[in-house]
Copies of this chain bind each other. A is one copy, B any other.
Amino acid sequence: MSTGSAHARETASIAEASEEAPAGEPTPRARRGRPGYDRAQVLEIAVRLFNEQGYDATSVSSLAAELGLSKAALYHHFASKEQILEIALDDALGGLESVLDGALADEGTAATRLVTVIAGAVRVLTSRLPQVTLLLRVHGNSEIERAALERRRIFDQRVAHLVGQAQQEGALRRDIRPSVTTRLMFGMINSIIEWYRPAHTSLTPEELVDDVTRVIFDGLRAR
- Copies of this chain, complex-wide, total 2
Known: A57-B57, A191-B191. A184 touches B215 (CB 8 A): yes
Known: A191-B186, A191-B191, A195-B183. A218 touches B215 (CB 8 A): no
Residues of B within 8 A of A216 (CB): 215, 219-220
Residues of B within 8 A of A163 (CB): 220
Q: Is the CB of A187 within 8 A of B185?
A: no
A interface secondary structure, majority: helix
Does A203 have its Cβ within 8 Å of any Cβ on chain B? yes
Residues of B within 8 A of A101 (CB): none
Q: Which residue of the partner chain, among B171, B174, B194, contacts A187 with CB atoms under 8 Å?
A: B194
Does A175 have its Cβ within 8 Å of any Cβ on chain B? yes
Instruction: Encode contact with B along A182-221: 1 for CB under 8 Å, 0 otherwise.
Output: 0111111111101100000001000010011011111111
From 106 to 165 in chain A, residues with beta carbon under 8 angstroms from any chain B beta carbon are 163
* Range of interface residues on A (Cβ < 8 Å): 35 or more
10 more CB-based (< 8 A) A-B contacts, given A185-B188, A185-B220 = A173-B222, A180-B203, A180-B208, A183-B191, A184-B212, A184-B215, A187-B190, A187-B192, A187-B194, A215-B216
Q: Is the CB of B221 within 8 A of A180?
A: no
Known: A190-B191, A191-B188. A173 touches B203 (CB 8 A): no
Does A176 have its Cβ within 8 Å of any Cβ on chain B? yes
10 contacts between A and B (CB under 8 A): A167-B222, A173-B221, A173-B222, A176-B220, A183-B191, A187-B191, A191-B191, A216-B220, A217-B220, A218-B219
